[in-house]
Amino acid sequence: MASDTELQAMRTALEAARSTARTLPNPRVGCVLLAPSGEVLAVGAHHGAGTAHAEVDALQQAGDAARGATAVVTLEPCAHTGRTGPCVDALLAAGVARVVHGQSDPNPEAAGGAERLRAAGVDVEGGVLAEDAAALNVEWTFAVTHGRPFVTWKYAATMDGLSAAPDGSSKWITSSEARRDVQRFRAEADAIMAGTGAVLADDPRLTVRDADDLPLPYAQQPLRVVVGESRIPSYYRVFDRVAPTLLVQTREPDEVLSKMVENGVRHVWLEGGPRLAGGFWNAGLVDRVIGYIAPAMLGSGRAALEGEAATLADLRPIDLDDVTRIGPDIRIIGTPGRAPREEMP
């Protein structure tokens, strides 16, 4: 059983992982090295693809002091070679005596690290604060276990459920506070996707911007994905040099997601418009919904979603995870339910 010192170290490792910027397509991971006396030798974290994994980051900080230490890691150490070598090999080479990890590695390509460590004589304990550790990487875990990216659909609408006026105009339904809030969520995805209709109508950047509405550096930008067969003029902002852009000339969601897999995408942030969102919704491929509801009415216009419902029996429930006021607007975060809603008496 993990000691109190190891539990505290795991909490520190979790905090180190949370403090990192977007690491996708890799998971967020934190690692704390403890001396046999319980002293903290190093706190490491993974900072993105191609950089040192959390265990290696901590080992490099600790140097020779890592021999005989305990490594407390939020995710089971990997056992495969990708852009960097296996963390298992690094831990064994450093002479670590014990490994305590949170979430077991769900990635079939990287799993098996705990078994390899035990086979080499290292004391291993898993499942420590496992739920907290798994919460770090919900989207990544989904992607590696389902073989497709996690899809978050974001929309903005009036209280009567409309996302655009009859003439197609939609800027801006929600407040500047809501739009700033969106940037934080965009930054957590590794792809931002919109349909050609929305791009032609609004000429969006589809980038992550800072508090002054300036785009972040190219290296920090998610992939921009434009879906559909309509031609987008080359002078549109989605083709600027602020971020990479991928054109996918189909509206078949399965084909779109296959392209995402080919490009290493784990978490897709889906924005505008109602047709593309409806395609993913109808196919059951929306995994999270984030809606920003403005305290206003249009009375007529375009709905936020083009679905296929014919009767109330097609009503699909949303399991609410969070309801928060953002400026004058309300932000609702939920998970689409899979079971039909029970009949009301």
Question: Which residues have a catalytic role annotated?
Answer: 55
46 known member of a binding site? no
- The answer to whether residues 105 and 78 touch, using CB atoms and an 8 Å cutoff, is yes
Asked whether the beta carbons of 154 and 269 are under 8 A apart, the reply is yes
The answer to whether the annotation marks 258 as part of a ligand binding site is no
Cα–Cα dist 255/236, whole Å: 25
Contact by Cβ (8 Å): 251, 271: no
156 is in an annotated binding site: yes
The torsion region of residue 129 among left (phi > 0), alpha (psi -120 to 50) and beta comes to: left
264/292 Cα distance (integer angstroms):
29
- Is 116 annotated to bind a ligand? Reply is no
Tell me the residue ranges of DSSP E strands in 129-212.
150-158, 162-164, 191-195
- Is position 180 annotated in a ligand binding site? no
Q: How far is CA 258 from the centre of its chain?
A: 17
| Helix-then-strand count for the chain, H and E | 10, 15
Report the Cα 224 to chain-centroid distance in Å: 15
For residue 271, say whether it is annotated as part of any ligand binding site. Answer: yes
**Cα 255 versus chain centre, distance:** 20
The answer to whether 172 is annotated as binding is yes
Annotated binding residue at 320?
no
The answer to whether the annotation marks 202 as part of a ligand binding site is yes
- 277 has binding-site annotation: yes
DSSP state of 147: S
Consult the annotation and say whether 90 binds a ligand: no
14 labeled part of a ligand binding site: no
- Residues belonging to the binding site for substrate are 170, 186, 206, 209, 271
- Residues belonging to the binding site for NADP(+) are 156, 172, 202, 273-279
- Residues belonging to the binding site for Zn(2+) are 53, 78, 87
- Residues belonging to the binding site are 53, 78, 87, 156, 170, 172, 186, 202, 206, 209, 271, 273-279
